[in-house]
Structure 1
Amino acid sequence: MSTSRPLDMSLVDLASPTEERNPRSAELDSLDARGMVDVILGEDAAVAAAVQAQAARIAGLVEECVAAIAAGGTVHYLGAGTSGRLGVLDAVELAPTFDADESMVTAHLAGGLGAFRTAVEGAEDSEEQGAELVRTACRPGDVVIGLAASGRTPFVGGALRQARADGLPTALISANPAAPLAELADHRILLDVGPEVVTGSTRMKAGTAQKLTLNALSTATMVRLGTTFGNLMIQVRPTNAKLVARTVRMLVQATGATPERAAAVLEEAGGEVRVALVALLASADAGSARGALEAHPRDPRRVGDPAGIRSAVAALTAER
């Protein structure tokens, strides 16, 4: 006896771009391994351009996220399946790179984190679960970002609809240029990647496009929040030998100091990378560098120097 759930035809849309058949891979199974790889990578080559076409919209969402986090709010990713897993991956990887935590960016996967490894049947089909998550996890000042390759996932729709009702800024990242849920989003990032190599397998081009978008979104957000000096990570916590070595290398790259000098100043600064960096750049002691940083804290409104490093160095230099 079948245990499958009855098919709800209201959830079926035969015109969905993510479900269309790709004519360029129609004979995929008849190719040898090299031919298959060439077709797959040939399709992937167009993904970056599709994301680049949405650069202005991604930048607009960056500003929304920066403002929210700077004011004490949280950016929430919500999705199901591949889309939701990519949100979880992006959120958790911000910790080691930018010393970010869940109060800044967090991810919610339909069916719970257990669904990261094992699909939870029907989780993505519940609008109420998405709405309930927003009601319980989101606060005024937060941003809600829906991730849905198809642009129609009920779980994401419920979350966006509830966020709208609560007056929260909303966004949708989708691989469907005609995403039905776009009307619920203030920021609409609709990635036109075309049909998948394997029909409906949105872990492929749609997933790659979403990953590229999230990379750009979260990285630009964190940099605007003052977590780097140039392209160097300065929020690293040197808690083990490998990270201490990485931090010393970064200080050498940023200042031109010898490794021995960089390591000595880092120790003098109590392992505080920002303090050591300012001390080296300004040829100052750690105490003076710390005071200058306290006078010039991280501030995304400080155009050209959100980390405050350049301003702190300039202040110390001007005192001489």
Structure 2
Amino acid sequence: MSRPTGRVLTLLELLQSGGTRTVAELADRLGVQGRTVRRYVDQLIDLDVPVESVRGRYGGYRLAPGYRLPPLMLSDDEALAVLLGLLAGRRAGLTTAQHTAGETAAAKIRRVLPKHLARRLDTLLESLAFTEQPGEFDTPDAEVLLTLADAVRHRRPVSVHHTDRDGRRGERTLHAYGIVAHAGRWYVTGQDARLGEDRTFRLDRITDARALPGSFEEPAGPGPAERVLAAFATAEYRHEVTLRIHGTVGQIRARLPASVANLEECAPAEAEQWRRVELRAERLDWLPAVLASLDRPFVIERPDELRDLVAALAERLASYAASGHA
């Protein structure tokens, strides 16, 4: 690539970053004189790139608002970061309903990579292993995701058509506080305007979202991520469990995170003391092993069934230890 051509592309990249750039600034960045900058601008205009001239004391050059430029210049490191990000997003389920969009984007970038970088990328992908195979994720509709994001930003009510886990469909007006990605799924959390209560919805269960007139004020308190985790911990399940565990917040949270249990944190987090823990679960059979792994004193306040399961686990472990080597 010739030096003038490289500078024209650099000028294009500077203008792509947004805002108005003065001639003096552009000349300094390109290492040329002002009249050369003007000549480079004329070359971009000849290529149908809509560069606008801004007059006045703070004038200069900018790109026409809303113009989608076909060239996208990435350094080797940037291209590699984008490709790995697309791969990680697919593995984590953090994609939209357009399943092929990430694959086609990756393919386009892959095709224009320099040969030496493409070979190194292939080597990396061949060497890369994951600890578990990706599951089947229910991904949200891209338009729903963008509509909700706009409603969050501008604090506008939004009407959503939602299907609950029992297959019941309904329409709600939501004051959306935020969008949260958690464990391979997308969620929106906010207040149900009719009920006046906080609600959390999976985005893949929302089939339509439509902005409504008006605005709302987000209440003080936890952020969207904390609200989603709290919703998980208080969801309606078959069993309600209440425990008292002696330990620090960190020790307890290591096995019972916020997405699983509510924890009384009235005392300093680093202090070891008895703390009340409440959670809800569809099944109890996983809890005895978790309590054993805590290695902290605990008391089961309810349900009695959990006490029986813990006692049975303790009896089994004692019998295994007493039996000696096989």
Q: TM-score, normalised by structure 1?
A: 0.22
Q: Which has the larger radius of gyration?
A: 2
Q: Which has the higher contact order (CA 8 A, sep 6+)?
A: 1
Structure with greater helix percent: 1
